[in-house]
Structure formats: structure tokens, C-alpha cells
Amino acid sequence: MKGAKIYGIRDIRVEECPIPEIKSPEDIIVKVKAVGFCGSDISRYGKLGPHTVGAIFGHELSGEIVEIGEQVTNVKLGDGVVVCPTTPCFHCEYCQLGKYSKCESLQVIGAKEDGGFAEYVRLHSRSVLKMPEGLDFETACGMEPACVVMHGFYRTKIQAGDTVAVLGVGPIGLFAVQCAKIFGATKVIAIDVFDEKLEIAKELGADLCINAKDIDPIQVVKEMTGGSGVDIAVESAGNPFTSAQVLSLPKKGGTVVFMGIPYGDVAISREHFEKIVRNELTVLGSWNAVSGPFPGKEWPTTLHFMKEGKIKVKPMVTHRISLDQIPETFEKIYKRDSFFGKVIVFPEGKEC
């Protein structure tokens, strides 16, 4: 089979690899139908985060079960599945409490273990959920990043009627726009510096879109909320500047939840930092997409809303490619040659 392997900084190669085999009675082999590019993949490509040299990249995938171990009971041959790429140790202090996102030795496929940029992948059967009828593989491969966002909102105390601002509407931010509506937000404000992203955010339900290159988003948010601010502000850009700016968006007693990881040091001015203290903000970090019982309520909840069409993936997809196009596409994104939204790889060479 073909697989896209990481060898070093800006060094991904599509090579012939052995088809994975069952090693444990609880293993399954999944034929990959669709797999998405993640922002963490792009980051790892450019600066080489945790990885194993020669490991197959990719972790946002859906596929079809083609082989199962003798002790697998939750799925059967031919089932379409979504994949939870995260594996906790199940033994550390946090795992014993069911707080799997805080596991001391959390592993994600596509870093140190082979992932989804391939024709087939071996997984533990607990890492998959059966796809409901009517859900297509392209949409289903967006499950993991959508669950990351669902996990983040579960960390908050969001209520029906809340106003939510989303700072940065890449894929995570676009899922945040949709999830905020699902949780009952009556007004969702999308903030970015790219009109292309804001147009997608509007299509996916944002009530107001602000291009921060043209106007101060803090001023606009204050004006539209009667000077108070939003109930919840989501930082999903992973930008050092927005990671400080987001602190000035919530109302007194409001919440900030960080769903993006800054790619550089964050310098927080006194003006922004004082907001935490004087406005008694709740500031939350949110990491990964799992909870107890594994993989957590994020997964069936997200799967339900995907099936109902309330969490959409297709509007954010700008590029659909084959396995062979992976290296050149990573390089184009790295060089910022043109606008890229969500990139989906179809190992079979066709959309499904």
C-alpha cells in the first residue's frame, strides 16, 4: 500500500509500505476512505514536533473495517467508522479518574505510531465508532477536530441565549461557530483577518463576521453588546497576538476558552491581563477530545449532530487530493502560496 511518511522538517515522502496486520485480538484494520490535514500536522511538518522517523502521518480519518481480531465485538466487517486517534495509558493518576485528556503519556496516531495518510491503518477496536447510515466519509473524517471543539465547550458553562465570539476561524474556529449554535448561543461573532474564512463562517451560521485587519474587533464587540462584551470568547487562532487580545472580549464574569495552541511566546499587555483580574474572568485551557468513559461524550454527541447536518464539514473544504499530492500540498501550505481551507485526502483517489 501507499503511505505518506515523515522523515524530517519539510520532508514527507509517499512510499510503498506493508499493509498493517492484526497483532492483538482486539485490533482492527481500517481501509482509509478520507483523511484531513490538521493544523498540528502543518506545524509538525515545519518544525518537527513529537514524531517517529518514518511514521505515517495523519490522524483525522474515517474508513471501512476490512479485518477484525477475534475479540472485537463493537464493530463488524464492512462497517464504516470514525476514528478517535488518541490513546491514553489508562493507568496513570488522571486516567484512573477518567480524565483521559490529561493522561501523562497520551499517544496520537500519526506522530509516533502510524496514522491515516495511507490506504490502511491498524487500530484498537475501542478507538472507533460505527458511522450511522447516511453519513458520508468526507464529513465523517472531520469528527476528531469537531470533537476537540465539543470538548472545549463542555469545559465551559455555556447556556442557551449566550453570546459567543470566535477569534480565528480556521477549521477549529469554524467548528466552534457551529457548536456554539448547537449549545444554544443566540449570537455568534466570527473574527479573522481573511475574508475567505469569514465567508465560510457566515455560511456555517456566524451572525456577525469581523475582519480584524479593517476594524478593531474589541470595539465592535463592545458596541454590539451594549458595552459589556460576550459571555464566552473562544481563541482558536493559535496566534500569540490573539491569545492576548481574546482576554478583552468577554463581559465581566465571562469566560475565555483556549482551543488553539500559540505558535510563539505570548506577550500579554497590562491592559489585557487586568481584564482577568478586574472582570473576574474564567480562563480555561482545552486539550484534545477525550473524556471518561473513553472516548467520552464528545464523540457520540458530535456524531449525532453530524448525522443531523448541524455540524458540516464540506463548506470548509477547499482542496481534495490524492495520497501522491500530499508532499506538494504540505509545501504549498507551508509557503502560503494560496488560500487553503480544509484539505481532505482520498487514498482511493476519489471522493466518497
DSSP conformation letters of 148-214: HHHHHHHHTT--TT-EEEEE--SHHHHHHHHHHHHTT-SEEEEEES-HHHHHHHHHTT-SEEEETTT
Same domain, 159 and 90: no
Q: How far apart are CA 26 and CA 6, in angstroms?
A: 27
Residue 228 belongs to a domain: yes
Residue 300 belongs to a domain: no
Residue 105 belongs to a domain: yes
CATH assignment of the domain containing 232: 3.40.50.720
Residue 121 is predicted with a pLDDT of 99
Same domain, 13 and 124: yes
Kindly state the average pLDDT of the residues 162-180: 99
Same domain, 273 and 156: yes
Same domain, 33 and 69: yes
Residue 55 belongs to a domain: yes
Same domain, 128 and 178: no
How big is the chain by its Cα radius of gyration, in Å? 20
Residue 303 is predicted with a pLDDT of 98
Same domain, 130 and 156: no
Residue 230 belongs to a domain: yes
Same domain, 79 and 127: yes
Same domain, 35 and 130: yes
Burial of 158 (0-12, 13-18, 19+ CB in 10 A): buried
Overall pTM surpassing 0.95 (yes/no): yes
Q: Summarize pLDDT for 36-71 with one digit per residue, the tens.
A: 999 999 988 988 766 789 999 999 999 999 999 999
Same domain, 135 and 160: no
- Per the structure, the count of domains in the chain is 2
Residue 351 belongs to a domain: no
Judge if the upstream peptide bond of residue 171 is cis by omega within 30 degrees of 0: no
Residue 106 belongs to a domain: yes
Same domain, 92 and 47: yes
Q: Say yes or no to pLDDT of 152 above 70.
A: yes
Q: Summarize pLDDT for 234-250 with one digit per residue, the tens.
A: 999 999 999 999 999 99
Same domain, 121 and 81: yes
- Please give the residue range of the domain that contains residue 31: 2-142+313-345
Residue 291 belongs to a domain: no
CATH assignment of the domain containing 61: 3.90.180.10
| Cβ–Cβ < 8 Å for 153, 173 | no
Same domain, 164 and 274: yes
Q: Summarize pLDDT for 187-214 with one digit per residue, the tens.
A: 999 999 999 999 999 999 999 999 999 9
Q: How far apart are CA 175 and CA 186, in angstroms?
A: 16
| Cβ–Cβ < 8 Å for 123, 28 | yes
Residues 6+ apart with CB under 8 A from 225: 163, 251
Kind of pairing between the strands at 342-345 and 27-36: antiparallel
